[in-house]
Amino acid sequence: MAKISTYTNDSSISLGDKLIGTDVDQSDATKNFTIGDIFSFASQTTFVPYTGASQAVDLGAENLTTTGTVDATLLVGQFGIHLVGSGFGVGALNYEGNTGDVLVSQGPGVPPSWSPLSGSYVPYTGATTDVDLGTHKLLATGVDVKTGPLLVNGAPGAVGQVLVSQGAGTNPTWGSVSSSTDYASRYHTLTQIVGAGLSAPIRFNSVGSWPTTPTITVTNDAFGDPTVINCATAGTYSLEVSVNAVKTVGGSDEDIYLFLFVNGLQVQYSGRKWTLRDANHSTGISAKYNLTVAPTDDIQFVWYQTNNIILGIDLGPSIPVPSAFFNIFKI
């Protein structure tokens, strides 16, 4: 037999062409094998081409294992391949899914299925519909509302409203700044006198700072004097009262006290005391309180003096000083 290198190459191959080989099942006998026989044998076996398969490859019950990635058009179902548990198998579906679908595992031994990105799946970006987190929280180091309103309970709120906490476990709500009209100040332009060792409510006959629609009013008491303060909005208020105390006669020291009364009763620990010494000594004194009130409460400031003290006015050279002044606002 001549050397193989001396034979002519045949580029026109037919099924009847023969190849020389060894038959391992026949004591390694040298035999001729036709191209057609080799092709038929290969098509009946489970050989998987390394690359360039021209038709679907059915692995049967076997797994496809790789330490790399699978680069292919993935068809789910019969005549295709898909993940089942830790291997590959054959399922009942046979299509590529719709744009945006994701492959969802159905558990071990069951073929996965294509499913739209919805329900409990939250896209990292580019959501095309509302994302409902259910009972879960959205945690972030910042929130960037790029377009559209900020909705709370489905509502954007009205212009000027703020988010108001409703307490733990309850959604906040949009609300107005309720304290915008819950303030007032008034003063008295006349001298106020009470006898030695007696007390009287402090009168306020003139408006200081007053909103257009006040929720705090001053009304007359049983004697017709403007001493009663009412707050239409329940809550806690900061109150301050100031008086211009004048000692009219010299001699012994005299004391003046201020008290806070609600519904005719002195508020416990509300008393404040000052001592005046010289005659014609004019002293501006004040007391501050925080008080929780209801709309039906009558609030009064009451003063008491031991002797020879009045609540006087001081016209002065330029700015007059009233005999009494109060300021109140909701906190």
Q: Where are the domains of the chain?
A: 4-43, 82-114, 180-330
Q: What is the pLDDT of residue 45?
A: 60
| Contact of 158 with 183, CB cutoff 8 Å | no
* Model confidence pLDDT, tens digit, residues 111-165: 777 777 655 556 667 777 777 777 777 777 777 777 778 888 888 888 878 888 8
Q: How far apart are CA 157 and CA 163, in angstroms?
A: 9
Helices (H), the chain: 35-43
Q: What is the pLDDT of residue 94?
A: 46
Contacts of 188 (CB under 8 A, 6+ apart): 202, 203, 204, 205, 206, 311, 322, 323, 324, 325
Q: What is the pLDDT of residue 78?
A: 45
Q: What is the pLDDT of residue 67?
A: 63
The token pair that represents 21 in the structure block: 């080989």
- Quickly tell me which residue has 């699978």 as its tokens: 70
The CB-side HSE value for 152 (13 A sphere, CA atoms) comes to: 14
Query: Which residue ranges of the chain lie beneath pLDDT 50?
Result: 72-73, 76-94, 179
| Contact of 183 with 328, CB cutoff 8 Å | yes
The domain defined by 180-330 folds into: Jelly Rolls (2.60.120)
Cα separations in angstroms, 53 against 15, 38, 331: 21, 18, 79
Q: What is the pLDDT of residue 208?
A: 76
| Contact of 139 with 122, CB cutoff 8 Å | no
Q: Is 223 helix (H, G, I), strand (E, B) or coil?
A: coil
